[in-house]
């Protein structure tokens, strides 16, 4: 018989507060068109994007995370000293080690909180939320801060017509804590590594150590390009529309609810056409509020779901206690979907 004592966590977990940060610089499509042969009409019709935010020199991954986290903590009414773990999902923190989560935890004033980064692309927020729920229920942390943050402008090839207009910067954060009733449903998550080539970094970092310029991509002026995110747009679109609608339905089934029970749908803000197609495939009723934050924020990868959640609550398009389906999907290809009660 085991001598280990049972965990003393909460019976359930919930999102207690949400916060977001969008950089001050707003970038319209006209700026993107300076480098690619396209049009404002084409960008809007293909993606829904009208503007996006790009971070300035002082708006670092850590700085944006601290701003978003401060708002989430205030919204939850939880002091930073009570945070037991900080989980940061990002692909745009360029130091291999230490994890940026450790700096964020320190700057927020946590009491030596556990802190680590995860790399799960656009599904990163869902992955972090699932880990946070487990920690609260298991008892290793009473409150967990989950952050999705990206400076994708640093990883954007402005000469790539397929992706130059897509990406934006920002940070979103939630505080997860104890609940007396179920408020974060079972997560349906997974990966399809056989499709990893459809979204990827153009060249690995170690290519720069080789010193052979012929092995590196060059821009139109002959300068070595910094690694960027590239994707096979049509393949990703088909996968997201057909496969992720199935995953979303599985998350509804796992939570024991139907589309009629939903109040809000918050998908990853990848493309308005993907969002609209998922709404149609899922047969969501007209009363369900659908997040389309991508129009003015762009694709912020791991930050997109908490940023969209924060905006819906701030504008009154969603309210505390609403039942929301959230789903993230992207590079890997990875995905994560769950049903939550909004803070």
Active site residue 53: no
Instruction: Go through 218-250 and write b for each residue having 16 or more CB atoms within 10 A of its CB, e for each that does not.
Output: eeeeeeebebbbbbebeebbebbbeebbebbbe
What φ, ψ does residue 157 adopt, rounded to 5°? -90, 105
- Degrees (nearest 5) of the Cα angle 62, 66, 68? 115
3-state helix, strand, coil in the chain (%, to 5): 40, 25, 35
| Active-site annotation holder among 29, 53, 93, 122 | 122
Active site residue 29: no
What is d(CA 189, CA 337) in angstroms, rounded to the nearest whole number? Answer: 6
210 touches 148 (CB < 8 A): no
| Active-site annotation holder among 29, 53, 93, 299 | 299
Task: Provide DSSP, 315-334.
Answer: HTSS-TT-EEEEEEEETTTE
| Active-site annotation holder among 93, 268, 271, 287 | 268
Active site residue 299: yes
* Beta-bridge partner residues of 53: 26
Q: Which residues have a catalytic role annotated?
A: 122, 268, 299
């Amino acid at each position: 018989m085991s001598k280990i004592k049972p965990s003393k966590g909460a019976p359930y977990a919930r999102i207690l507060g949400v916060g977001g940060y969008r950089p001050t610089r707003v970038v319209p499509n006209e700026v993107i068109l300076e480098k690619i042969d396209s049009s404002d009409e084409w960008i809007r019709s293909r993606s829904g994007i009208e503007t996006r935010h790009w971070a300035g020199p002082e708006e670092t991954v850590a700085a944006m995370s601290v701003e978003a986290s401060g708002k989430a903590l205030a919204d939850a009414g939880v002091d930073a000293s009570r945070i037991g773990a900080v989980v940061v999902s990002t692909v745009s923190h360029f130091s291999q080690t230490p994890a940026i989560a450790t700096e964020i935890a320190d700057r927020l004033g946590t009491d030596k909180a556990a802190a680590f980064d995860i790399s799960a692309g656009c599904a990163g927020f869902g992955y972090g939320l699932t880990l946070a729920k487990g920690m609260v229920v298991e008892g290793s942390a009473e409150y967990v801060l989950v952050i999705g943050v990206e400076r994708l402008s640093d990883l954007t090839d402005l000469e790539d017509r397929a992706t130059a207009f897509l990406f934006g910067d920002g940070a979103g954060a939630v505080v997860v804590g104890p609940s007396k009733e179920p408020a974060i449903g079972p997560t349906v998550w997974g990966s399809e590594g056989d499709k990893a080539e459809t979204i990827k970094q153009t060249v690995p970092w170690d290519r720069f150590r080789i010193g052979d310029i012929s092995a590196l991509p060059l821009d139109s002026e002959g300068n070595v390009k910094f690694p960027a995110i590239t994707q096979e747009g049509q393949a990703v679109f088909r996968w997201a529309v057909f496969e992720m609608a199935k995953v979303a339905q599985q998350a509804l089934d796992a939570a024991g609810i139907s589309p009629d029970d939903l109040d809000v749908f918050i998908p990853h803000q990848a493309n308005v056409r993907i969002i609209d197609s998922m709404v149609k495939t899922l047969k969501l009723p007209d009363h369900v509020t659908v997040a389309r934050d991508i129009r003015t924020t762009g694709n912020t990868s791991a930050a997109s779901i908490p940023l969209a959640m924060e905006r819906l609550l701030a504008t009154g398009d969603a309210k505390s206690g609403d039942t929301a389906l959230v789903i993230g999907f992207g590079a890997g290809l990875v995905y994560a979907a769950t049903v939550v009660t909004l803070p």
